[in-house]
Amino acid sequence: MQFMQGRYGIDSLNRVITWFVFGIIIVNLFIRSGTLNLISLLLLIYLYFRMFSRNYTKRYQENQWFVSKVSPIQRFFQRQKNHAIQRRSYRLYKCPKCKQMVRVPKGKGRIAICCPKCREEFVRRS
């Protein structure tokens, strides 16, 4: 407790490094590569360096940089997941005129779809 006082500790970047090291160690149980071993060791050193660092501002900036790189990727996967859930009961079409995504219920045969944004009508199988 005393030791951790004024030290940086755990943030998202450190958490990801931890999982990464853990993953490498698991994989390396099977393939036993010296290079992977070295990589996991270096990552572990970097992880502890960041955790015990007293330079809070610098570590915080590193984490902010990391989060800014990762969040667009997270958003992309979130969107894919969302679409997958919607596709179970809806069909998604892009409006041919304004490219707006339009959601229609599945299994209604050929229907005329009216774009809610630009009022363009187009016929699709639902």
Binding site for Zn ion (CB under 5 A): 95, 97-98, 100, 115, 117-118, 120
- Measured distance CA(39)–CA(92) in Å, rounded: 44
Residue 94: CB minimum distance to Zn ion, A: 9
Residue 110: CB minimum distance to Zn ion, A: 19
Among 120, 63, 123, which residue's Cα sits nearest to residue 91? 123
Return the number of the residue (75 or 117) whose C-beta is nearest Zn ion.
117
H helical segments located in 7-105: 12-31, 34-51, 56-86
Return the number of the residue (6 or 96) whose C-beta is nearest Zn ion.
96
Return the number of the residue (87 or 119) whose C-beta is nearest Zn ion.
119
51 touches 8 (CB < 8 A): yes
Return the number of the residue (33 or 100) whose C-beta is nearest Zn ion.
100
- Measured distance CA(63)–CA(45) in Å, rounded: 17
- Measured distance CA(125)–CA(92) in Å, rounded: 11
Residue 69: CB minimum distance to Zn ion, A: 33
Residue 124: CB minimum distance to Zn ion, A: 13
